[in-house]
Amino acid sequence: MSRFFIEVSYKGTRYSGFQVQQNAISVQAELEKALAIYFREIIELTGSSRTDAGVHARQNFFHFDMDKEEGVVYKSAYHINSILPNDIAVNSITKVKDDAHCRFDALSRAYQYTLYNKKDPFLTDTAYYFPYKIDIEQLNIAANIIKHTEDFETFCKRNVQVHTYKCKIEESIWTMQGHQLFYNVKGNRFLRGMVRGLVGTMLKVGTGKINIETFREIIDSKDVQKADFSMPAHGLTLMKVSY
């Protein structure tokens, strides 16, 4: 029995999330269905980074075990893609060590949230229309605070069982390109709803609704009700999972 990592990308608009759910379509369910058709056996996938309903991924991973020749698997990405719907793509299938785990072995994950301030029909499904004046300098002061924060309880949606709210953030920065505004964040782990909560709360700083001191107080409060989780899912993309 050999273990394989399967790298995927997807547009999350149609899906109720990454993981298999009852009575709802998910990325995992569609991929398991395609694998079963191609390999003619049931394939159980383990996911790397869960994404919520409507969230996209440039790169995400599953792993699975299979008792087949390596060559068959390496040649299979093209054929599996022909079975999958157009909004999911298999980028590669790679044999790994038998004890490799796509979730627990991940060193970091990088996300990007995209906004735009000028009507653009090509961005409606993958970015959030936000036609308001924004102070980029203030946004980046807030983003820098995130890099030096360890406890993110304020930005974790409730009804989630986690052993710790501590995360190590390596990158946190806002950039403007044309009429698009990007927030890029990279860390060892993320809590449920965390990136969207960070974006929504920092935008309050960027639009002058709160100041930096209040932003610090919101972080220190560990009160989820003080964070802004209103940012829609379609603006968020998982960009990279590093091993």
Can you tell me whether residue 7 is helix, strand or coil? strand
E strand or H helix that includes residue 23: none
Angle subtended at Cα 185 by Cα 30 and Cα 242, rounded to the nearest 5 degrees: 60
Can you tell me whether residue 160 is helix, strand or coil? coil
E strand or H helix that includes residue 231: none
Catalytic, out of 52, 67, 120, 125: 52
> What letter would DSSP give residue 16?
S
Q: Which residue has the tokens 């995360």?
A: 167
The alpha-carbon radius of gyration of the chain (Å, integer) is: 19
Query: Is 99 noted as a catalytic residue in this protein?
Result: no
CA pair distance 70, 75, nearest whole angstrom: 9
State the catalytic residues. 52
